[in-house]
Structure 1
Amino acid sequence: MSELRDYQQRVIDEIYATWQQGKRAILLAMPTGSGKTRTFSELAKDFCDRDRRVLLLVHREELLWQAKKTLEKILRSPVGVIKADRPMQLEYPVQCASVQTLVKRLEKQEIDLGAIALVIIDEAHLSLAPSYLSILRYFPKALILGVTATPSRLDGRGFDRLYEALVIGPSVSELIWRGFLADYEVLAPESFLPTEEGIRIAGGDFNSADLAERIDRRYVAGCAVDAYLHHSCQKRCVVFAINLDHSKAIAERYCAAGIVAEHIDGETAPKDRQAILERFRAGETQVLCNVNLFTEGFDVPEIEVIQLCRPTKSVALHLQMLGRGLRPKGGRKALILDHAGNCLRLGGAKADRCWTLQGLTESIPAPEALINPIEEAIEFMAEAIEPPIAFSKTQIDLPNLPKRRVEIYETDVDFFHLPTHTELETQLAHQTYSQSQPARPISSRSPRVPSDAPQSSPHRDRRSAPNRQIPPQASPQVSSKRRSSPPKRHLSPLQQVSKAAIELAERMENILVWIWRSWFPPKRKRVEIPRRSKRPQSF
C-alpha cells in the first residue's frame, strides 16, 4: 500500500492531539476523493497494533465492501463483517458493520462485540440519526471518529450535540492544484426550474413530488440527451434524476438515441446492481441514471461527465454529486452539465466554504487582522528608505473605483473593469490638456496677407456669389517668444493630488510585492496557465 500523503498524516496527528486534550468525539471533514477511507484505515491499524478493537459503521452495502477491501490491504489481515444473511466472525479485532443490522442485533442482545476502543462512522453527516445514536450508547467509553466530506445537514441542526471538535482537511482547490483531484468545467443550459415559487421545502430541500409535478420528465430527458450529444458524446456519464420515473425516462431516451444507458436505484437487486456497475466500468454502458444512489461513497474513477437533472437546496447533496466526477483522469478535465441551476444557486466545488460544528457559515475576516501586519511592514520599509518620505496629514477623498467581482460559479466569471495605472495617467493627461487649447502649429497657419486685403474663411463655401461681401480677418499676431517655446501648463490642485496618489499607490504595490516574496518564497516552479472563462450555453 502506498504511503500516506502529507495532508493525511497532518489530520491524523491533529486527531491524536485532540484526543489527548480530553475530547472524545471528533468530526473529520475531507473532500470527496481526498482519501478518507485510507486515512481512517491507518488509524484503525494503529489501534489494532495495540490490541484494541475497532468498529466501523456504514449505511450502504457498497460502502461496506469498499471499506472492508481497503482495511484488509492496510491491516494485512481479515476483517469481520456484520450484515444480514452473513456469518459473523467476531474474533477479528476490526469489524465492519451495517448500521441497520447492528442496531437490531444489539437491541435483541444477539451480539457481543467486547470492549470497543474506537468507533469510526463513515458518511458522518448521517450520524445524528436515531439508529447511529442508539449504537453509540452501547459503547460509552469508546473514542468516536466521524468522517464526512460535507459536515452539513439538511435540517440545519449542528453536530455539536455529538462531536466536540472539528478537524478540517485540505480544500478542493488545493487537491486539484496538486493533482489529487481532476479539474472540471461547468456548462449550465437553461434551468429546468427557473423559479422556486410553488415548490414546497421538505427537510431543508425541494419536495421531490413538487419537482416531479413542475418539471416534465419528457422535456428533461430530451434536453439531457441533446446536451450529452453536443458536449460529451461517447463519454461515460452519471445522471442524477428527481425520482424513479424521471430516471427511467432519461435512460429510455438515451437508448432511443442509440446510447447504451441503464437505470439503477436502491431497489435493484445486489447482483444486478453489481453487474450494471461492472458493465459501466468496462465501458459497455455509457450512461448510468440514478436517484440519490451514487451521492455517497461511489468510487468509480471512470466517470467523465456528471449530469445534474435534480434541483437541490442542499450544499451537502450538491457537493456529493459533483464529487463523483472529480477522481483523477490523467490530466483530463471533468465536465458538469448542470440543467438544474445548482452551481449558480450553491456555487461550485472549488468555492470557499467555512465548515463548523454548527454547519456551514459565512464568515468575513476582520479587517484589522489583515491591515495591522501590512501597516507594520510599511512602517518598517518607510524607515529604511532614505531620504524619508513626508506624508501629508491632509485627508484626501479619492474617487471610489469599482471593485472586481468574481462569481462563485467558475465558468460564468463576470469582472467589473478596474483601471490600470497607465489608464489613470492617460485620463489625467487628457483632463489636463483639455483645459487649455494648444497653439496651432506655424506650418498649418494661413499665409500672411495685408490687413486691408479681404480674406476668405476656410470654413465658408468658396462657390458663393461674387458680390457676396466677406468681412476682413486680421492676421494672427505671433510673437517670436511664443513661436520659440510652448506656454507652461500648470496642473490644478486636484490633478496634482491625483498624480501623487498614483505614485504613492505604485510605491505601495512594490513594497507589498517585496514583502510577499520575502515571507512566502516560491517552493516549486509553477507554469501559469491562463484561465479560460466560458459562459453557459443556452439550449
Structure 2
Amino acid sequence: MLLRPRQKLFVDRSISALRFHGNTIGVAPTGAGKTIMLSGVAGEILKDSDAKACMLAHRDELTAQNRAKFARVNPEISTSVVDAKEKSWSGRATFAMAPTLARETNLGQIPALDLLVIDEAHHAAADSYRRIIDRVRERNPKAFIYGVTATPNRGDRKGLRPVFSNVADQIRIGELIASGHLVPPRTFVIDVGVQSDLGKVRKTADDFDMTEVAKVMNRTPVTEAVIQHWRDRAGDRQTVVFCADVAHATAVAQAFRQADVPTVLVTGEMPDAARKAALADFADGRARVVVNVAVLTEGWDHPPTSCVVLLRPSSYRSTMVQMVGRGLRTANPQEHPDILKTDCIVLDFGTSTLLHGSLEQDVDLDGRELSGDAPTKTCPSCEAIIPLSSRECPLCGHAFACDDGGDEPQPLGDFVMSEIDLLKRSSFKWCDLFGDDAALVATGFTAWAGVFFLNGRWYAVGGRQGQPTTLVGAGERMVCLAAADDWLNEHESDESAHKTRRWLSQPPTDRQLALLPAEYRQDFGLTRYQASALIAFQFNKAAIRRLVFGADRNALARAA
C-alpha cells in the first residue's frame, strides 16, 4: 500500500517532531486517513529494530479497524491485542482498548514500550489515559508519545498540553475538499424566529445550556418550519439531525414521521441493541432521517449522508466540525451504487455558523503546495509549538486574533479555493489519452486507474490483474481523481510508483507497439509509459464503457 503524498508529509513531520520533542500530536479531519497515517508513523519507528509499540483506542471496533489497516501498511510487523477477551503483548505492535488497559491489573502487565500511539487523542487528558501514559513513561522515560485526532479541543476545557508539547502537522478540511477527498458543504443559516432567543441562552462550563436551548427549539411551530425548509432544500437526501436533548429529539423524530418521512431516533439512553437496529435501518435506506442527541458526533460515518441539520448551537467550533463532518465523506459507488454525491447541504437553524463563521478550525484554502517541516509559532497561552497558520491552538483552545488586513473567517458555504492539482501531487503519472482532458489513465505494475467524462459528470474506474474492473468514483472531477488515485495507492507500492518516473521519456517497446492500433505506431513522441496507459485502456475499453455508461444511465434516471 502507498500513502498519498499529503499523508506521507504528515508522517514525515510527525516523525521529525517525535524525535525532536519526544512527543507530538497530529490533527487531521475525517477523510484524511488518520489510521493509515498513524500506522505509517508506527511502522517507521518500528522498522529495522526490535522496538515495541502500543496503539491505544477507546472502542472495540476502532481497535479491530486500526489493527487491520496497520497490517496493510506494515505487513511485516507482528501484532497482538489487549482487550476484554484477549491480553497479549506478543506482537511488536499491540492494539489495546484504553478502558481495559487502564485497569490496575492490566497496567502492571505493560512491557517497556518505545512508542505509545493514541488514536482520538483528545481523550488523552482523561484520567484513564493519563494512568496509561504515566505507566508507559515509568517503564521507559524515553518512550515516544504520539497522538492523532480530528478535534483536539475538548468540551470540558481540559487542554492536552500536559501530554503534548507541540503539534506536528494539521491537515485542514479545506485541503481535503480541494483535493477531492471530501465533498464541499453548502450551508444555509435559517432563522425560524428563534435566533434572538438562542442568543440569550447562557453557557455552562461545557457548552450552551441545552435545557434552555430545548425550551427555545422544542416547539411545534419551530419544528414544522424546520421540516418545511428541509423539504425545500434537501427532501430527497439522507439526513442526520442534531438536537438539544432527548425530549427535543423525540418530538422532532415524531414530527418527521407524521410528515411521512421514514425517521429513526438515536439517543444515549437507548439500549445498545435498539440503537444498532435504528442505525441499521438508516444505513440500509429504510429510514431517510436519523435524529440524535450527541451520539453521532464522533465515530459514526454513513457516507451517503448528504444533509446535516443543526437544531442546537455549539459553543465550540470542534463540536460543530464533528457534526457537519458526518456529511462530508465521499460515497464509494462500489458500496453505494445508487448514490451520486457531490456536496453536503448544512441547514443551521441555530447560531453555530454565525458564532464561529467557519467550518475550519484553521483556514488555508489557497491550494499552496506543502513540503518540509511545518512552519510553527508558540501559543501565548500554553506555550505549545503549533502550526503557523493555526487560528486556534489545538492543545488549549487559545483563539488568535485576525490579521489587521481584516481576514474574516469564511462562511461554511463560501469556500474560496484554488483547486489542488492532484495530478501533480500524485505518486503516479496521469496521461491525457486523447488530448481533450476527458480521459485520464495511470498505471502501476499490477493495477491501473482512469477518470472519464460523460454527459456533464466524471466517473472513476480501477482495475488490477485477475480482478474485474470496478467503478470507484462518480460525480465531480476532483472527487473522481482522488478516488482513482487512491485505488492505485491501495494496490501499488513505492516501487511501482517509481516505474512511472523511469518510463517517462523512454521509447515504447516493440511488444507495446504491436499491441497498439496502427495510428499510434507513427507517433514518434510516444513514451513507454504513455503506451502502457493506452494499452490498459484498449484492453479494458469494453468494461470501462459498460461501467461508465451504466452509471450514467442510473444518474440520469435519478435526476428525472
Shorter-chain TM-score bucket reads 0.5 to 0.7
Query: Whole-Å Cα distance in 2 between the matches of residues 66 and 172 of structure 1?
Result: 23
CA deviation profile, 1:110-159 (whole Å, cap 9, x unmatched): 76132222212222223212221111111003211111122323354543
1:239 touches 1:288 (CA, 8 Å); kept in 2? yes
Aligned in 2, Cα 1:221/1:80: closer, same or farther, shift over 3 Å? farther
Q: Distance in 2 between matches of 1:219 and 1:81?
A: 52
Native 8 Å contact 2:157 2:206 kept in 1: yes
Secondary structure of the 1:26 match is strand
Equivalent pair of 1:7/1:169 in contact (CA under 8 Å): no
| Whole-angstrom CA distance in 2 between matches of 1:3 and 1:267 | 42
Structure 1 residue 523, shift from structure 2 partner: 6.9
Mapped partners of 1:223, 1:80: distance in 2: 53
Cα distance in 2 for partners of 1:199, 1:190 equals 16
**Which of 391, 408, 416 in structure 2 is aligned with 1:354?**
391
Q: CA RMSD in A?
A: 3.3
| Superposition pairs of residues 142-161 of structure 1, within 5 angstroms | 142-161=143-162
Q: 1:303-382 counterparts in 2 under 5 A?
A: 303-329=305-331, 332-350=342-360, 352=363, 354-356=391-393, 357-364=395-402
Matches within 5 A, 1:118-137: 118-137=115-134
* Other-structure match for 2:233: 231
How many residues are aligned here? 381
- Aligned-pair distance for 1:47? 4.3
The superposition leaves residues 69-103 of structure 1 with CA deviations (integer Å, 9 ceiling, x where unpaired) of 4334434488544444x233432333333322221
Alignment counterpart, residue 295 of structure 2, candidates 290, 293, 306: 293
53 and 366 in structure 1: CA distance in 2 versus 1, 3 angstrom threshold: farther
Gaps of 5+ in 1: 368-402, 414-521, 530-539
Structure 2 residue aligned with 1:15: 14
Q: What amino acid is the match of 1:265?
A: T
Shift of residue 306, structure 1, vs aligned partner: 0.7
Contact kept, 8 Å, 1:58 with 1:98, in 2: the verdict is: yes
> Secondary structure at the residue paired with 2:116?
strand
Structure 1 residue 257: deviation in Å? 1.7
Q: How does 1:406-445 map to 2 (within 5 A)?
A: 408-411=410-413
Superposition deviation, residue 5 in structure 1? 1.1
Q: Residue 211 of structure 1 aligns with which residue?
A: 213
What does residue 165 of structure 2 align with? Answer: 164
Q: How far off its partner does 1:66 sit?
A: 3.5
CA deviation after TM superposition for structure 1 residue 406, in Å: 6.2
**Percent identity at matched positions?**
26
Give, in whole Å, the separation in 2 of the partners of 1:78 and 1:280.
37
What is the match of residue 257 of structure 1? 259
Evaluate the alpha carbon distance shift between residue 213 and residue 61 of structure 1 in structure 2; reply closer, same or farther with a 3 A threshold: farther
Match of 1:6 in 2: 5
CA 1:89/1:251 → structure 2, altered by over 3 Å: closer, same or farther? farther
Task: Please identify the structure whose Cα radius of gyration is greater.
Answer: 1
The normalised TM-score by structure 2 is 0.61
For the Cα contact (< 8 Å) 1:224–1:250, is it kept in 2?
Answer: no
C-alpha change, 1:68 and 1:326, in structure 2 (3 Å) is same
Asked whether the 8 Å contact 1:264–1:273 carries over to 2, the reply is yes
The one-letter amino acid of 1:361's match is A
- Give 1:114's aligned amino acid: P
The match for 1:29 is 27
The aligned runs of 1:427-466 (5 Å cut-off) are none
Instruction: Give yes or no for contact 1:306–1:324 (8 Å, CA) kept in 2.
Output: yes
CA–CA distance in structure 1, aligned partners of residues 293 and 182 of structure 2: 24
In structure 2, give the amino acid aligned to 1:290. Answer: N
Higher strand share: 2
Shift of 1:39: 0.6
Partner of 1:394: none
Query: Does residue 138 of the first structure (1) align with residue 140 of the second (2)?
Result: no
TM-score for both structures, normalised by structure 1: 0.63
Query: Partner of 1:361: helix, strand, or coil?
Result: coil
